[in-house]
Amino acid sequence: MSDERPPLVPRLEGYDHDSVTARRRWVEERTGAALEHVGAYSIDSERMRGKIENPIGAVQVPVGVAGPLRVEGEHARGVFYVPLATTEGALVRSYERGMVALTRAGGVRVRLWMDENRVAPVFTLAGIAEAREFADWVLASFEAIRAEAESTTGHGRLLRLECHPLGREVIVDFRYSTGDAQGMNMVVKATDRACRWIMTQGRAPSYLIFSGFDSEKRAAGVLLAGGKGKKVTAGALLPAALVRAYFHTTPERFAELWRRTVLGHLQAGALGYNAHFANGLTALFIACGQDVANVANSAVGIMSFEVVEGGDLYASVTLPSLSVATVGGGTGLGTAAECLAMLGCAGEDAEGGAARLAEIAAATLLAGELSMGGALASGEFVAAHEAYGRNRPETASQATPGPETPDTAPQAAIDRDRAPQASIDQDTAPQASPAKETV
């Protein structure tokens, strides 16, 4: 696999099907790997231009659907069926369970608190005093800086500037509204223009476009205050009877689970607190063509379970720095556009799609926290993973189960999901016809 002067990947410029194929063949030759499935993509390879270089095809990630999820936000209102791309067994079922319970409880309330993105260049001044003067000048020059920054973009708006001194350096935090785009490239370009203008004013000898303060695709404490994407809260009140029916436990045990695992997070020096935001975010992001690396910042957030007066459960998630988009990046590509369409965030529904997606994402994460929490609080977690997940015997998971070996566990679990209906509503048993089944 090695030789003295290893060749470069062929300089094929084309994004046409043949170029992609030629490049893939070359890789197959060099590495000895057969790339049949990688070549079996359906999306138009020309659409990959600007999204990837040296394309050899596409990878396929299984996508499942979880729902119904009723969302009562300001941008997303209604019932959603959420696409989740994953290979972690039990994940979709787990989120589905939470969604069904939340929907049954009346849906998830969601609110968007902030919608910003930032770039934070750093300027180096001669000394402490000059740094102070520079910061004052920057803040006083907001309008001129804004004009420069916005001259590069039709969508981004510079909302405000914040200055953070570090000795003789000044980080200038540029905060933008970026519409439905994730917007990082847009705001980097705008900020760079503004910085160059500042240079022309002779106000600082040099700058660096990234100070590291922006915390794009990184976990950092500063994210807890927001400013990197959407700041969203989602919550729901779950009656004790519903908790028992869907999660086989009590609000008190949810609260106790929260207490004990918060202690563990504190001991671990965790940033924020949540059970598995990263799971739901990743699965949703892959499905919907998001920049998946943004999970690193988006997963920093705080979840809460508490028993309220009357003994019911209030559950919430707070996502201060959620990066989602419905235009740009991978959002327009084949499967991504289709998955966004499932959520009403594409095509004709695209306007305001990012805010809608943010609200759906927050509600989805709440479902995941509840379901994981329920599994742990009831002691069913290990058993559930036995039934669905990677713990299943390899023979069973890899073979096609015949009628002699019915995969009964999932069935039982689905039935559990349906059971609440009976136990709460005294309804008749769920009908056989899938399309007629309701929560």
Q: How far apart are CA 92 and CA 370, in angstroms?
A: 13
Touching its own copies, residues 65-104 (CB under 8 A): 65-68, 70, 72, 77-81, 83-93, 96, 100, 103
Among residues 17, 155, 265, 385, the one annotated as catalytic is: 385
401 binds its own copies (CB under 8 A): yes
411 binds its own copies (CB under 8 A): yes
> Among 17, 47, 244, 416, which residue sits at the site for its own copies (rule: CB under 8 A)?
47
274 binds its own copies (CB under 8 A): yes
By the 8 A CB rule, do 125 and 204 touch?
yes
> Among 200, 404, 426, 436, which residue sits at the site for its own copies (rule: CB under 8 A)?
436
Q: How far apart are CA 6 and CA 125, in angstroms?
A: 45
405 binds its own copies (CB under 8 A): no
Q: How far apart are CA 365 and CA 356, in angstroms?
A: 14
By the 8 A CB rule, do 98 and 228 touch?
no
Give whichever of 57 and 146 is closer to its own copies, judged by the CB atom: 57
By the 8 A CB rule, do 281 and 298 touch?
yes
Closest of 69, 23, 136, 63 to residue 367, by C-alpha: 69
Among residues 115, 148, 291, 417, the one annotated as catalytic is: 291
55 binds its own copies (CB under 8 A): yes
> Among 21, 312, 389, 416, which residue sits at the site for its own copies (rule: CB under 8 A)?
389
- Residues 74-85 as b or e (16 or more Cβ within 10 Å = b): ebbeeebebbbb
Tokens in use for 266?
């504190």
419 binds its own copies (CB under 8 A): no
> Among 240, 352, 397, 416, which residue sits at the site for its own copies (rule: CB under 8 A)?
397
Please report, for residues 10, 120, 136, 163, 190, the alpha-carbon distance to residue 139 in angstroms, rounded to integers and kept in the order given. 49, 14, 5, 8, 17
> Among 159, 197, 352, 381, which residue sits at the site for its own copies (rule: CB under 8 A)?
381
Give whichever of 202 and 434 is closer to its own copies, judged by the CB atom: 434
Q: How far is the CB of 220 from its own copies (least distance, A)?
A: 4
Touching its own copies, residues 307-336 (CB under 8 A): 314, 316-318, 328-330, 332-336
Write the binding mask 112 to 141 for its own copies: x where contact by CB under 8 A, - elsewhere: -x------x-x-x--xxx-xx--x------
Give whichever of 136 and 142 is closer to its own copies, judged by the CB atom: 136
376 binds its own copies (CB under 8 A): yes
240 binds its own copies (CB under 8 A): no
> Among 140, 263, 412, 429, which residue sits at the site for its own copies (rule: CB under 8 A)?
263
By the 8 A CB rule, do 113 and 355 touch?
no
Please report, for residues 379, 415, 422, the alpha-carbon distance to residue 418 in angstroms, rounded to integers and kept in the order given. 20, 5, 8
Q: Widest CA span of the chain, in angstroms?
A: 81
Assign residue 389 a region (left: φ > 0; alpha: ψ between -120 and 50; beta: otherwise).
Answer: beta
273 binds its own copies (CB under 8 A): yes
Among residues 88, 162, 256, 312, the one annotated as catalytic is: 88
Q: How far is the CB of 235 from its own copies (least distance, A)?
A: 4
* Residue 88 annotated among the catalytic residues of the structure: yes
Closest of 298, 303, 230 to residue 273, by C-alpha: 303
159 binds its own copies (CB under 8 A): no
* Residue 385 annotated among the catalytic residues of the structure: yes
Q: How many residues appear in the chain?
A: 439
CA 111-117-123 angle, to 5 degrees, is 145
> Among 172, 242, 243, 287, which residue sits at the site for its own copies (rule: CB under 8 A)?
287
- Cα atoms found within 13 Å of the Cα of residue 171, Cβ hemisphere only: 14
> Among 180, 251, 276, 313, which residue sits at the site for its own copies (rule: CB under 8 A)?
276
Please identify every residue annotated as catalytic: 88, 291, 385
